[in-house]
Copies of this chain bind each other. A is one copy, B any other.
Amino acid sequence: MALFCLMLSPSLMAQEHPGIMLTKKNIEAVRKGTLTYPLLKKSWLKVKADADKALTETIEVPTPKDAGGGATHEQHKKNYTNILNCGIAYQISGDKKYAAYVENILLKYAADYNKWPLHPKRKENHPAGRIFWQSLNDFVWQVYTIQGYDMAYDAISPKNRETITKGLFEPILKFFTIDCKDTFDKIHNHGTWDIAAVGMTGYVLNKPEYVEKAIKGSAKDGKTGYLAQIDQLFSTDGYYTEGPYYQRYALLPFVIFAKAINNFQPGLKIFEYRDQLLAKAINTSLQLTYTDGTFFPINDAIKSKTYETAELVYGVDIAYADIKAAPDLLDIAEKQDEVVVSDAGLKVAADLQAGKAKPFAYRSQLIKDGSKGNEGGLGILRYGSNDDQQALLIKAASQGMGHGHFDRLNLLYYDNNTEIFPDYGAARFINIESKKGGDYLPENKTWAKQTVAHNTLVVDQTSHSNGNPGVAQQNYPEILYFKSDKNLQAVSATERQAYPGVQMTRTSALLKVDALKKPLVIDIFQVLSDQPHQYDLPFWYKGHIIASSEKISAFTDRLIPLGTKDGYQHIWLNAEQPVAQNTGYLGILNNKRFYTVHFASESKLNLKILSLGANDPDLSLIESKAFMLSVPEAQNQVFFNIVETHGNTNTISETTTGATAMVSELRVISSSKEQVRVSFKVKNKPYTYQINYKNKENFIKLN
């Protein structure tokens, strides 16, 4: 923290414009780059086309009225994009018509802003903005707008600059720091956006007071503010506790404000702060994607979000240009197919053109949660090239605040560039006004957050921590083990708090055996309890069930819900079969590949086939299917599952290979607090697989 003592000496406040993503000293180089480097050229032409389009349209600054997705909401979002694009277009082209757009629209905002009270609509449980229904959107608006203003600055008359400052930016600074003080000082991503907006505005308007507040909090004591946010919101591994979807959202204000700090006060060495935390956070965001670019959708998440998102275009460009020029970041930039038209984007585009890219290095890793790195984490196991990769994720992180789901020890499995055992993500149609203004739907609470919506254990049809976020926030699973050898990758974690008197331990591995091309998923879920309970282990799957050990007879003429609460009320029970000898398999065909799920249970087992959609009068739930390993009553219990990934069917050439599963004879041999032993065969070769929970040196033993 010592280095921050020298901050904010006025002499450090450079006052050249522009000074954030594009800087005056680099303008000529970036201009030249837009003619030279394909990706920068393409990105610039898109910005220019959007700016040109903006110029053809009448400037509209409507009185705020609509919720998310509505007309005034979308118009104000469009306006900040236009302001930014026109700012860039002015700098690159030198044509003042673009600056005039920025000037005119900001004059309009300056004329009206003070007339706008708090937004008439209110996003549930969120403080209102003045331009938008939640203040968060106002902060975002300003982060973009201040950059556009900074870029158009030189072309705006001093008189108009003053009008804009007095009529718009100063009231905004006041609103953001005083009216929204609670948010400004909250260690939370909304706070980060607020801070970044205030800090960047402080730099551009040369108001050091606001910069200082942004960095050190309202009280300037460092207990809140930007640095406190970096300290507390990210784990030592750069993981943001709400999960990947919000991590990428939270990231933008962090990195863009860091860029501003670095430009205006390079002596602060902000990118070095907390052992290069921001670089870790960017890289971890990328490590939290599957090879198709989508973020692992744990907790509240929009599932189609990928690293192509603007936040990570900024993140990757800044990480590469300003922190560390790792050649595998260029692979991501290439897939993003866009750079920020900026100093950083210039460097990325130039190096891409120079052929420096390497495939993004996805790693098997344990990403620890908690500001001290001791609040559980995510175990990610990967095998295979980026073209055809198996990825297994075990969620043993902390609750993740308000956007957290009740899914301790949840398992996600991906393969062949698609989801095999997915997570539902959030129940939300983002930006679709007819679906509750694009906000989270009631089913987000009644369904998406509930344990049974995930691939983990439900005890007595009740969600973890009884679905109480306050309780869940107070504890986290313990990571017992992580290993990432080539032929045996494994993660083991235990959860003691989700249910009183019940200890759940999941140990999941990717195990490569010689006889098979692809590793097996070996998943052992042990439950130790002081009382008997019902144990349900659902696997939400994609694809189609094409084979099963038990003859399944689905209900033909009537469907009823699986239960009455905690998400069970949303599930139709399609079939229920007792499993002979408590062991069997299901064959699933997904994206032309076969997944045979072998399972064995210590206790009497029923197989339930499920689909989503009960108690959904508004048709808000997305089609989903599961099979559930259901133990009606047991005290201690082991679920032993093997997912065999095999074969191929080509419906174009009409050929099928490797359709027959090679794994057989799963048995649970023994289970205790210290150890679980199971056995199985692969092409008739027997294996014994033993987990020694208390022996980290020899945690998994395979014979």
Contacts and interface: CB of A to CB of B under 8 A. Distances in A.
A617 B554 contact: yes
A674 interface: no
A77 B651 CA distance: 15
Contact of A552 (B69, B309, B587, B619): B619
A554 B430 contact: no
A74 B647 CA distance: 13
B659 A433 contact: yes
Contacts of A652: 304-306, 308-309
A88 interface: no
Interface in A6-23: none
Interface string A540-554: 000011110000111
B589 A429 contact: yes
A619 B545 contact: yes
Contact of A561 (B431, B557, B560, B611): B557
Contacts of A547: 434
Contacts of A655: 74, 77-78, 431
Given A69-B659, A652-B306, A432 B617 contact: no
A21 B241 CA distance: 63
Nearest to A552: B619
A457 to B, nearest CB: 25
B74 A554 contact: no
B651 A435 contact: no
A430 B310 contact: no
B435 A657 contact: no
B615 A556 contact: yes
A651 B432 CA distance: 10
Contacts of A625: 623
Q: How many copies does the complex hold?
A: 2
A609 interface: yes
Contacts of A651: 302, 304-305, 430-431
Interface residues on chain A, size class: 35 or more
A409 B158 CA distance: 69
Interface in A645-690: 649, 651-657, 659
A438 B560 CA distance: 32
Nearest to A81: B655
Nearest to A433: B659
A554 B308 contact: no
Interface string A254-272: 0000000000000000000
A559 interface: yes
A221 interface: no
A17 to B, nearest CB: 27
A478 to B, nearest CB: 35
A554 B302 contact: no
Given A432-B589, A546-B432, A656-B74, A616 B304 contact: no
Contact of A546 (B435, B553, B611): B435
A85 to B, nearest CB: 13
Interface in A406-435: 429-435
A66 to B, nearest CB: 11
A57 interface: no
A618 interface: yes
Interface string A612-644: 011111110011010000000000000000000
A618 to B, nearest CB: 7
Contacts of A77: 655
Given A544-B622, A659-B69, A554 B653 contact: no
The 6 A-B pairs at the shortest CB distance, nearest first, are namely A434-B547, A431-B656, A559-B559, A304-B651, A556-B615, A553-B617
Given A435-B546, A554-B619, 19 more contacts: A69-B656, A78-B655, A304-B652, A306-B652, A309-B652, A429-B544, A429-B589, A430-B649, A431-B654, A431-B655, A431-B656, A432-B659, A433-B656, A552-B617, A554-B613, A554-B617, A556-B614, A557-B560, A623-B623
